[in-house]
C-alpha cells in the first residue's frame, strides 16, 4: 500500500508543480519526525504526533494561529492537544494555540466566542507587525536621507 500511496502522491505532485503557487506537501514520515522534540513518535495515540508535527510545519512557514479541534470522546487528542501547547509556545512565543473540545455538551456560543477571540488576536498581531515594519522602513529611509544630506 505504501508504494500505491507514494505513486499517487508523486503523480499529484507532478501535476501540481505546474501551478505558480505550488509548494511541496509535507509527507507523514516528515511530520512524525518533526514532532519528536515535542512528543516522541512512539506515543502515536490519536493524532498525537500529527498535531505538533503539523503545527511545527506551518509555524516554520509563518503561520501563528492554530486551532486544535478535539472531537467528542477522543481522550488521546484531548491530552495531546492540551499537553503540547506549552512546548510549542516556548518554540514560537508569538503563536496562538486554541485547543477546542467539540462535543455535545459544549455550547455553540462558547466555541464561537473562543474562535472570535483567536481571530481578533491574530488580526491585532498582523496589524502590530505591519505597523512595526512600516516604522522600520520609515527609519531606514530617514537614515538614508540624512546620509544624503550630510554627503552634499
What are the per-10-residue average pLDDT scores of the chain (152 residues)?
Answer: 88 91 84 81 70 88 87 70 82 88 78 90 86 82 69 58
Alpha helices in the chain (DSSP H): 2-16, 28-34, 50-60, 75-83, 85-91, 108-151
Dist. CA 84–CA 68, nearest whole Å:
11
What's this model's pTM, rounded to 2 decimal places?
0.69
Is 95 within 8 Å of 59 (Cβ atoms)?
Answer: yes
Dist. CA 83–CA 78, nearest whole Å:
8
Per-residue cell: 151: 554627503
With cell 512512539, the residue in question is 42
Dist. CA 102–CA 69, nearest whole Å:
7
Convert the pLDDT of each residue in 122-150 to its tens digit: 888 888 888 888 888 878 777 777 666 66
With cell 501551478, the residue in question is 19
Q: What is the pLDDT of residue 148?
A: 61
Is 95 within 8 Å of 64 (Cβ atoms)?
Answer: yes
Per-residue cell: 64: 501563528
Per-residue cell: 107: 455550547
Question: Counting every residue, how long is the chain?
Answer: 152
Per-residue cell: 37: 522534540
Q: What is the pLDDT of residue 11?
A: 92
Amino acid at each position: 500500500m505504501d508504494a500505491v500511496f507514494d505513486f499517487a502522491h508523486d503523480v499529484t505532485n507532478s501535476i501540481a508543480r505546474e501551478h505558480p503557487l505550488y509548494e511541496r506537501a509535507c509527507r507523514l514520515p516528515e511530520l512524525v519526525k518533526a514532532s519528536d522534540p515535542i512528543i516522541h513518535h512512539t506515543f502515536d495515540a490519536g493524532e498525537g504526533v500529527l498535531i505538533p508535527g503539523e503545527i511545527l510545519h506551518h509555524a516554520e512557514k509563518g503561520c501563528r494561529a492554530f486551532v486544535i479541534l478535539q472531537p467528542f470522546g477522543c481522550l488521546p487528542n484531548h491530552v495531546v492537544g492540551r499537553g503540547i501547547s506549552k512546548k510549542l509556545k516556548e518554540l514560537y512565543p508569538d503563536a496562538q494555540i486554541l485547543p477546542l473540545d467539540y462535543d455535545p455538551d459544549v455550547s455553540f456560543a462558547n466555541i464561537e466566542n473562543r474562535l472570535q477571540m483567536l481571530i481578533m488576536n491574530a488580526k491585532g498581531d498582523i496589524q502590530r507587525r505591519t505597523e512595526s515594519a512600516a516604522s522600520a522602513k520609515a527609519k531606514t529611509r530617514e537614515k538614508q536621507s540624512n546620509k544624503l544630506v550630510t554627503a552634499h
